[in-house]
Amino acid sequence: MHSSGVRAVWIALFANLLIFLTKAIAAWVGNSAAMFAEALHSLSDAVNSVFLLIGMKLACRPPDLEHPFGYGKEVYFWSFIASVFMFGVTSMGSLTRGYHQVVNPHPIAAVELITVALSLAALFEIYAVRAAMRAVINDVGIQVKGFKVIPASFKNINNVANPAVKFVFWEDMAALTGVIIALVAISISKITNNIVYDGIASIVIGVMLGALAIMLAYENRDMIVGRAAHPNIIRRIGDIAMSVPGVTDVKEIKTMYIGAHSLLVNMTIETKPRLNIEIADDVVAEVEKKIVTKLNSVKEINIEVIADDNLNSWQKEKEQLSCIVE
Phi, psi of 47 (to 5 degrees): -65, -40
H or E stretch covering 4: helix 3-30
d(C-alpha 194, C-alpha 105), whole Å: 9
Q: In the set 6, 17, 60, 69, which binds other proteins (CB under 8 A)?
A: 69
Angle at 27 between CA 168 and CA 94, to 5 degrees: 55
Quote the least distance from Cβ 51 to other proteins, whole Å. Answer: 13
289: contact with other proteins by CB under 8 A: no
Strand-pair category, 247-259 with 262-271 = antiparallel
Helix (H, G, I), strand (E, B) or coil at 262: strand
Distance in angstroms (rounded) separating the CA atoms of residues 159 and 140? 7
| Complex with other proteins: residue 175 or 229, whichever CB lies closer | 229
Q: Which of 8, 307, 311, 325 binds other proteins (CB under 8 A)?
A: 307
Q: Binding mask 196-235 vs other proteins (x if CB under 8 A, - otherwise)? A: -------------------------xx-xxxxx--x----
CB of 224 to other proteins, least distance (A): 5
Applying CB under 8 A, the site for other proteins has a residue count of 50
Q: In what order do the strands lie in the sheet with 298-307?
A: 247-259, 262-271, 298-307
Nearest one of 93, 114, 9, 102 to 51, comparing CA atoms = 9
Nearer CB in complex with other proteins: 106/272: 272
Q: In which region does residue 206 sit, left (phi positive, over 0), alpha (psi from -120 to 50) or beta (all else)?
A: alpha
**Segment near other proteins (CB under 8 A), from 11-19, 20-28, 97-105, 268-276?**
268-276
Q: Is 70 in the site for other proteins (CB under 8 A)?
A: yes
List the interface residues with other proteins, window 104-163 (CB under 8 A): none
Segment 237-266, which members bind other proteins (CB under 8 A)?
Answer: 254-256, 258, 266
Indicate whether 1 belongs to the interface with other proteins (CB under 8 A): no
180, 273, 296, 322: residue in contact with other proteins (rule CB under 8 A) = 273
Q: In terms of C-beta density within 10 A (0-12 exposed, 13-18 middle, 19 or more buried), how is residue 255 classed?
A: buried
Residue ranges that bind other proteins, judged by CB under 8 A: 65-74, 76-77, 80, 84, 88, 221-222, 224-228, 231, 254-256, 258, 266-268, 271-278, 280-281, 284, 300, 302-307, 320, 324
